[in-house]
Amino acid sequence: MQEQQIVWFQELSMKDVPEVGGKNASLGEMIATLSAAGVRVPGGFATTAHAFRQFMHRNGLDGRIVPLLAELDIDDVTALAEAGRTIRRWIEQSPLPDELELAIRKAYGEMGEPAVAVRSSATAEDLPEASFAGQQETFLNVQGIDQVLARISHHPSRNRPLFVA
| pLDDT at position 159 | 41
Q: Is 77 a member of any domain?
A: no
Please give the tally of structural domains in the chain: 1
Exposed/middle/buried for 160, CB within 10 Å: 0-12, 13-18, 19+? Answer: buried
Full-model pTM? 0.82
Q: Is 66 a member of any domain?
A: no
Q: What is the pLDDT of residues 43-86, one digit of tens each?
A: 999 999 999 899 999 999 999 999 999 999 999 999 999 999 99
Q: Is 132 a member of any domain?
A: yes
Query: Which residue(s) pair with 8 in the sheet?
Result: 45
Q: Is 114 a member of any domain?
A: yes
- CATH code of the domain covering residue 124: 3.30.1490.20
Q: Is 84 a member of any domain?
A: no
Measured over the CA atoms of residue 133, residue 72, residue 79 and residue 90, the dihedral's sign is negative
Our CA angle for 51, 57, 61, nearest 5°, is: 115
Which strand ranges, in their side-by-side order, compose the sheet holding 138-142? Answer: 6-8, 45-47, 162-164, 116-120, 138-142
Q: Is 73 a member of any domain?
A: no
* Domain span holding position 160: 6-59+94-164
